[in-house]
Homo-oligomer: A and B are copies of this chain.
Amino acid sequence: MKRDKPKYKQIIDAAVIAIAQNGYHQAQVSKIAKEAGVADGTIYLYFKNKEDILVSVFREKMAIFTHNLRVILEEDIDTSKRLFKMIDNHFRVLHEDRHLAIVTQLELRQSGKKLRLRINEVLKEYLDLLDVILKDGIERNDLDQTLDIRLARQMIFGTIDETITSWVMNEQKYDLIELSPNVHKLIMNAIKA
């Protein structure tokens, strides 16, 4: 399987760096190849085309978030703690990989409609897990029984996303992780039972 070969990950990581440093539209395949230390043509042994690189970047990195969320779902804790862990995890991963934060919050959004759709498919998995937390929270009576799950999900994701984007746009000047408790409080206020 190509995805397990070392060069696959090498190119993915090179793409994140190249995009973060040069911007989406200036991250030419040749720059990614150079950053990865391989020839231009080698890229095409591992990826179908440039779009495939970008979707793969998103898929591979999103897998970290999704995996962590699954672990949180398996823990025997209440919904409030779960959401705190989710927010904190989200902030923490991006706080520790500044390049990735720039890429997911700013650069990858410049992609065309076609690529956006493919990225959204990947994102859906994460949002579906969030829905599971919310549904379960209502069943357990941790959350407001009248909660509109879609709206709640949009509020939670919208808040997290906007918070991170603002942080990235402010050149990551302040500590993102410190915001977790307050963001969590705001969100819980909105949806708790």
Residues of A with Cβ closer than 8 Å to B?
A: 23-25, 106-107, 109-113, 116, 120, 144, 148, 150-152, 154-155, 157-163, 166, 169, 179, 182-183, 186-187, 189-191
A162 touches B152 (CB 8 A): no
Contact A183 B112, beta carbon cutoff 8 Å: no
A81 to chain B, nearest CB (A): 18
Find chain B residues with CB under 8 A from A107 CB.
Answer: 113
Which residues of B sit under 8 angstroms from A109, Cβ to Cβ?
A: 109-110
Closest-by-CB residue of B relative to A107 is B113
- Residue in chain B with minimal CB distance to A188: B190
> Which chain B residues lie closer than 8 Å to A162 at the CB level?
154-155, 157-158, 161-162
> Which residues on B sit within 8 Å (CB–CB) of A179?
151
Judging by beta carbons under 8 Å apart, are A155 and B159 in contact? yes
Contacts of A116 in B (CB 8 A): 106
| Inter-chain contacts of A163 with B (CB < 8 A) | 151, 154-155, 158
Complex CA–CA separation, A146 to B109 (angstroms): 34
How far is the CB of A190 from the nearest CB of chain B, in Å?
4
| Bound complex: CA A51 to CA B24 (Å) | 17
**Is there an interface contact between A23 and B112, defined as CB atoms closer than 8 Å?**
yes
Chain B neighbourhood of A144, CB < 8 A: 189
Q: Which residues from chain B contact A148 at a C-beta distance below 8 Å?
A: 182
CB distance from A169 to the nearest CB of B (A): 7
A186 near B182: Cβ-Cβ < 8 Å:
no
Complex CA gap A74/B154 in Å reads: 30
A169 CB contacts on chain B under 8 angstroms: 120
A1 to chain B, nearest CB (A): 21
- Measured between C-beta atoms, what is the minimum distance from A184 to chain B in Å? 10
